[in-house]
Amino acid sequence: MAEPTVRQPGEGEQHDRGFGYVRILVATEQVSVMEIRFDESLVVDPHTHGDHTDSFLVLEGEVVFTAGDDEVTVGPGGFISSPPNARHGFRSAGGRARVLNVHSPDGGFVESIRRSTAEQS
């Protein structure tokens, strides 16, 4: 029988990066959830995913999201969800920001984070 995943503040599998960190809160085949803290040095260029939905809830700061051919600035409590094949990307609007990022299904995203960390070591 499967068990719920519980994470207290600060818990999870943290991967430190030059821009901040990615903290994996849950990683299953069906869904992965990460907390990403970043500064202006992280720019995720517009891209698409053919196999999963990529969603973001802004927790702190302001984030500029590419949404199709548009850009929209989203502050705390704002949400964006990009279904398969939707063009999206993001960057800080200035200063530090923090988002909750959900991939459904995971689509190999968590493994790419782990692989990147191993390559940096």
| CATH code, domain carrying 80 | 2.60.120.10
Q: Examine residue 91 and state whether it is found in any structural domain, yes or no.
A: yes
> DSSP string of 71-97?
EEEE-TT-EEEE-TT--EEEEESSS-E
- In the predicted structure, residue 9 carries a pLDDT above the cut 90: yes
Task: Supply the pLDDT for residue 47.
Answer: 95
Q: Tens digits of per-residue pLDDT, 39-87?
A: 999 999 999 999 999 999 999 999 999 999 999 999 999 999 999 999 9
Quote the number of domains for the chain.
1
Residue 12 lies in a domain: no
Band (32; pLDDT cuts 50, 70, 90): very high
Supply the pLDDT for residue 118. Answer: 84
- The amino acid that residue 109 corresponds to is F
Q: Which residue has the higher pLDDT, 78 or 3?
A: 78
In a domain, 100, yes or no: yes
Q: Supply the pLDDT for residue 121.
A: 63
Query: What three-state secondary structure class fits 18?
Result: coil
For the segment 101-120, what is each residue's pLDDT rounded down to a tens digit? Answer: 999 999 889 999 999 888 87
Whether 18 contacts 29, CB under 8 Å: no
Is the pLDDT at 8 greater than 80, yes or no? yes
Query: Is 25 inside a domain boundary?
Result: no
Q: Which domain holds residue 71?
A: 32-120
In a domain, 83, yes or no: yes
Taking the CA atoms of the chain, what radius of gyration do you get in angstroms? 14
Yes or no: say if 72 and 64 are a contact pair by the CB < 8 Å rule.
Answer: yes
